[in-house]
Chain A
Amino acid sequence: MSHSLNEIEAMSKRAARGAGLSWGLAEEAAKGTRWLSSFGFPGTELLAELLNLNDRIPAIDVSPVSLRAEVWHAPARRMSPLIAGASLSDCAARLLERGKITMENVSLPLLAVPFMGGAALRLGLPVAAEWEGARLATDGKRLCVQASPEALRLRQAPTLVFSAPAEMTGQQEPLLRAEVCEDSWSQLEKFAHRTFAPATEESRLKGAGAGVSDND
Chain B
Amino acid sequence: MNEILCRDPNTVMRLARLGSMHQSRLSFMRVLTRRLAREQWRFEQTAFEIDETGQGHAVYTAHGPERSYSLIAFAHDLPPEKRSDRVIAEAWDATFTLFDGVPTADDIDRLSRNIPVQEAGRVSGSELSVSRANRSVRLWEHVVTALASGVQPDRAQIDAVGYLMRTTAVYGSGKLGAADREMIADRPEFRAPFQVEMLSVYLTRWFVMDLVQHMANCRAAATGTTAAKLDIEIARSMGIGNSTGLGMAPFLLNHPVLFNNWVAARERAIQTVRNIAEASPEDVSLFRGLVERSKITIAKWHSDHPIQIEKLAGLRSDVAKTDHYLEAHALTGMNPWDGLYRWAEDALTVEGQEWIASLMLEPYGALVDGYAEEMSADNTATFRISGAMTIGDLRGLLHEIYSWAIETDWQAPQNKARAWYVSEEKLEPRLGERFEEPIEEYEQPLAPGRDAAMLYRALAHWPDEAQVAEFLLRHPEHRHVLRRAQIVGRAPYAEIRDNTISDRVLPIDMLRCKLSFFGATQFDPRSDRWVRICMYGNAPLPFELTSENAEFWVFPNLQETAA
Contacts and interface: CB of A to CB of B under 8 A. Distances in A.
B428 interface: yes
Contacts of B175: 4, 6-7
A147 interface: no
B180 A203 contact: no
A83 B124 CA distance: 34
Given A24-B478, A24-B483, A195-B442, A87 B469 contact: yes
Chain B interface bracket (under 10, 10 to 19, 20 to 34, 35 or more): 35 or more
Given A67-B469, A214-B84, A122 B528 contact: no
A207 B430 contact: yes
Contact of A214 (B85, B247, B445, B479): B85
A7 B180 CA distance: 9
B353 to A, nearest CB: 27
Contact of A93 (B388, B422, B530): B388
Interface in B169-202: 173-175, 177-183
A176 interface: yes
A121 B438 CA distance: 42
A215 B477 CA distance: 45
Interface string B75-89: 000001101111110
Given A6-B175, A203-B430, A176 B183 contact: yes
B387 A90 contact: yes
A124 B482 CA distance: 23
Interface in A186-216: 193, 195-199, 202-204, 206-210, 212-216
A59 B423 CA distance: 26
B246 A22 contact: no
Given A4-B125, A91-B469, A210-B529, A197 B387 contact: no
A53 B469 CA distance: 25
A176 B126 CA distance: 12
A126 interface: no
Contact of A27 (B86, B136, B483): B483
A83 B472 CA distance: 10
Contacts of A23: 445, 479-480
Contact of A67 (B81, B177, B178, B470): B470
Contacts of B11: none
Nearest to B433: A206
Interface residues of A, number: 53
A6 B174 contact: yes
Contacts of A214: 83-85, 134, 243
B473 A67 contact: yes
Nearest to A206: B432
A183 B246 CA distance: 32
A132 B481 CA distance: 36
A209 B431 contact: yes
Contacts of B442: 195-197
A109 interface: no
A171 B507 CA distance: 47
Contacts of B437: 202-203
A125 to B, nearest CB: 14
Interface stretch (B266-274, B378-386, B392-400): B378-386
A42 B218 CA distance: 54
A135 B380 CA distance: 24
B309 interface: no
A209 B473 contact: no
Contacts of A28: 479
Given A122-B384, A196-B422, A24 B482 contact: yes
Listed from nearest, the 3 A-B pairs whose CB atoms lie closest are: A24-B479, A90-B387, A6-B174
Interface of B: 80-81, 83-88, 122, 124-125, 134, 136-138, 173-175, 177-183, 243, 245-247, 380-381, 383-388, 421-425, 427-428, 430-432, 437-439, 442, 445, 468-470, 472-474, 476-483, 507, 526-530
Interface of A: 1-7, 21-25, 27-28, 31, 59-60, 63-64, 67, 83, 86-87, 89-94, 118, 121-122, 176-177, 193, 195-199, 202-204, 206-210, 212-216
Given A86-B385, A207-B423, A215-B80, 15 more contacts: A1-B177, A21-B476, A22-B479, A23-B445, A25-B476, A83-B476, A90-B469, A118-B383, A196-B427, A197-B432, A204-B88, A206-B432, A210-B530, A214-B85, A216-B136
